[in-house]
Chains A and B, each alone.
Chain A
Amino acid sequence: MTEMIKLFVNGEEVEVESGKNLIDALEKVGIEIPHFCYHPALGADGNCRMCLVGIEDGRPPVVPACKTLAKEGMKVLLDADNIKKIQHDVMELEFINHPTDCPICDQAGECKLQDYYMKYEGTESRMWVPQVTKRKMQDFGGGVIHDQERCVACGRCVRFLRQITRTGELGLVNRGDDCRVEFFPGRPINNRYGLNVVDLCPVGALTSADFRFKQRAWFLKRAESICHGCSKGCNIMVDHNKEKYEDDIIYRLRPRQNEQVNGWFMCDEGRMTYKLENDNRLEECTLAGAVRPLADIFADAERRIERATKVLFLVSPSASLEQLAAVQALAEKTGATVSAFSDGYIVKDDGDDFLIKDDKAANRAGVDLLGIAKSRTHFDNMAKEADVFINFGNDLSRSLSEEQIGRLFSDTWVLNGATHPGQLGAVMEKKVGSSIALRSWSEYHGVVVNCDGIAQKFVGGVMKNVERPDIVEMAAGLGSPATGTAAAWALVQKKIPALAEFGGFLELPAEGVKLTDNEAGK
């Protein structure tokens, strides 16, 4: 445990962690100090002056909280008249040239200027001189749109690109009221983490071209999830909304703080994976080419599994632990073989040392933990022997070409559970015996283990109009003993003792569970 120190805020004693600046330390105990330029990931800059607090009997009496370490016995004044005046005046300064075009600003609703205005200023503008006009709707590259008028020159975006990505595309040019964020002509934002500046921007100066004008922030429902784009397992917030008479769709993904995994950020590719969740999804379950109710397909498949001599299940390395365990249990019951062959999920030399990984599967570590074979030879051998092949959401078209798939399953009855069309190749899918449209990761709950062996829970908040089964339900429909997510979780706990202490996956801590090396690294 970190050492705790005692200090006084407005005369009241509070206990905070030592070694932190005042903003962070007091935030932990629920006391807010307003700030624009400070961001825990970027460090203190001290240029906005919004976080000035009074220190009683201190020298100097007024200090920026972002640069001041919390010390034992410190007497912090937040509600002194001079502090209130500072906050009020800083806000007034920020608003001198602010266009106040909240109606058309995407940040409205999650904008610090708005929040602080309501909290710390709330007065009408006294300005009568014309405002300084600057460029609006400037394309910064990388899907970032900049509005110079809304900028408060906090420099978070500049510091992110210099300190975190070390590409430094942006700079604060000019000075005084003419100060603005610009990229050097011809060198726009061009890196794989550029969209993080949109989240970092405390106001609406930087907005995402992708999300721009799609939805207002206050309509969006949030679901705490894990990015399934690669094996890093960045913590994300799924912002989705079901508009009247329409389907529930995701509008954007935002990073969620998790110091162990992704810090505060995520990559641009990961952000865009939401499009896969919305568009081009399989909707119908078919049996011999005809749309049929799910129960019929399950009954038919169950009969075929019983009659078959050799059955092969293929699971996706992105499936949650529960789903993998459910399929495993089904395999144990029916004597089938489970494979997690997914060589195509690994993209060589794509990853970097920050967040992006080569392996584009969200739960490969989990596959290993549950002891599911994934080698190509194993899969090939089994595929040749099998006369019934059931795919549980594995995008086989990534690993094998259409021809190869066709050759492997030329005389095999195939049940294809998939989220998107084309996962077995377009030609092959016309020939499959049955197909089931599955739920995707934004629509179910579960636990995945990332490349560092951290088991993390995720919640699927999206409720599509078309009812689809997830893999646990599909396995249960085919006769798996794990009839629900809870039963599957019990199976997972049997296989992975480190998770045994958690009654349900929701009890997993928010920062995830670091599985020990011998468990994770098997």
Chain B
Amino acid sequence: MAAKVKQLPSRGGTPAEKVYLIEIFKGMAITLKHFLRNLWDNSNLYVRHYPEVQPDIPARWRGRHRLLTHPDGTPKCVACFMCQTNCPADCIMIKAGTRIDGVTEKMPVSFTIDLAECIYCGYCVEACPEDAIRMDTGIYAFTSSNREEMKIGMTEMLSLKGGFPEEEYQKGLEGE
């Protein structure tokens, strides 16, 4: 297969460029221009002044995990361990048990995610066959002073609500 490759002229061949000094000064002129402009008036900096100015989180943002529930409030999760199997960081720990509410046969007895180990890759969300876990809470700042607090359990994840409207989230999925 002959792929069409666009040939770009190679740079740096002329004697003036080979001396480098001129190019170095060109580069230094550019940085100096930026410096002087910002020194004169620093209102054009591309900086979000974080805790005061919060970023806009898109629906595809992978924030903290939550577990979804059926309309009746029972967890959607059937403890199939797909998320745990796919987790590259090994941070999901599930204990499965028999479900007695008649929705299915199996449900998680405990579902723990160690956020200190999580790398927020979103594989768990993609692997989930039941759409039971999502990372759409929009919570991106999460700190703790000890490791145990970084483990979040099932009740906490079930109580979290999605941070975005459903259509927006689904639109985000289509983009992927």
Chain A directly contacts chain B within the complex, with at least one CB pair under 8 Å: yes
A103 & B78 in contact (Cβ 8 Å cutoff): yes
- CB-CB under 8 A from B81, the residues of chain A are 216, 219
A104 & B78 in contact (Cβ 8 Å cutoff): yes
B98 & A213 in contact (Cβ 8 Å cutoff): yes
A244 beta carbon closer than 8 Å to chain B: yes
Complex: chain A residue closest to B80, CB-CB: A103
For residue A502, give the distance in angstroms from its CB to the closest CB of chain B: 39
Point out the residue from B78, B93, B105 that lies within 8 Å of A137, measured CB to CB.
B105
A103 & B90 in contact (Cβ 8 Å cutoff): no
CA distance A244 to B87 in the complex (A): 13
A296 beta carbon closer than 8 Å to chain B: no
B133 beta carbon closer than 8 Å to chain A: no
Complex: chain B residue closest to A147, CB-CB: B105
Interface of A is mostly: loop
CA distance A109 to B85 in the complex (A): 12
A101 & B96 in contact (Cβ 8 Å cutoff): no
B97 beta carbon closer than 8 Å to chain A: yes
B130 & A103 in contact (Cβ 8 Å cutoff): yes
- CB-CB under 8 A from A101, the residues of chain B are 104
A212 beta carbon closer than 8 Å to chain B: yes
For residue B120, give the distance in angstroms from its CB to the closest CB of chain A: 18
- CB-CB under 8 A from B157, the residues of chain A are none
CA distance A381 to B35 in the complex (A): 99
Known: A218-B85, A219-B81. A103 touches B129 (CB 8 A): yes
* Proximity string of chain B (84-123) to chain A, C-beta cutoff 8 Å, 1 when within and 0 when not: 0100001001001110000011100000000000000000
CA distance A101 to B78 in the complex (A): 10
For residue A239, give the distance in angstroms from its CB to the closest CB of chain B: 15
- CB-CB under 8 A from B130, the residues of chain A are 103
Name the interface size band of chain B. Answer: 10 to 19
A136 & B82 in contact (Cβ 8 Å cutoff): no
* Proximity string of chain A (125-147) to chain B, C-beta cutoff 8 Å, 1 when within and 0 when not: 00000000000110000000000
A115 beta carbon closer than 8 Å to chain B: no
Complex: chain A residue closest to B129, CB-CB: A103
A166 beta carbon closer than 8 Å to chain B: no
For residue B66, give the distance in angstroms from its CB to the closest CB of chain A: 19
- CB-CB under 8 A from B135, the residues of chain A are none
Interface residues of A in 184-220 (CB under 8 A from B): 212-214, 216, 218-219
B125 beta carbon closer than 8 Å to chain A: no
CA distance A426 to B73 in the complex (A): 50
Point out the residue from A102, A136, A214, A244 that lies within 8 Å of B96, measured CB to CB.
A214
A104 & B105 in contact (Cβ 8 Å cutoff): yes
A243 beta carbon closer than 8 Å to chain B: yes
Complex: chain B residue closest to A216, CB-CB: B81
CA distance A490 to B129 in the complex (A): 55
* Proximity string of chain B (11-33) to chain A, C-beta cutoff 8 Å, 1 when within and 0 when not: 00000000000000000000000
For residue A118, give the distance in angstroms from its CB to the closest CB of chain B: 16
B106 & A104 in contact (Cβ 8 Å cutoff): yes
CA distance A210 to B105 in the complex (A): 15
Besides A101-B104, A102-B129, A216-B85, 16 more A-B contacts (Cβ < 8 Å) are A103-B82, A103-B130, A104-B80, A104-B104, A104-B106, A108-B80, A136-B105, A137-B105, A212-B98, A213-B79, A213-B98, A213-B106, A216-B80, A218-B85, A243-B93, A244-B93
| Contacts from A to B (Cβ < 8 Å) | 101-104, 108, 136-137, 212-214, 216, 218-219, 243-245
Q: Which 7 A-B pairs rank lowest in CB-CB distance, beginning with the nearest?
A: A103-B80, A104-B106, A213-B96, A216-B81, A104-B78, A103-B129, A103-B78
A-B contact pairs, 30 of them (CB 8 A): A101-B104, A102-B80, A102-B129, A103-B80, A103-B82, A103-B106, A103-B129, A104-B78, A104-B79, A104-B80, A104-B104, A104-B105, A104-B106, A108-B80, A136-B105, A137-B105, A212-B98, A213-B96, A213-B97, A213-B98, A213-B106, A214-B96, A216-B80, A216-B81, A216-B85, A218-B85, A219-B85, A244-B90, A244-B93, A245-B93
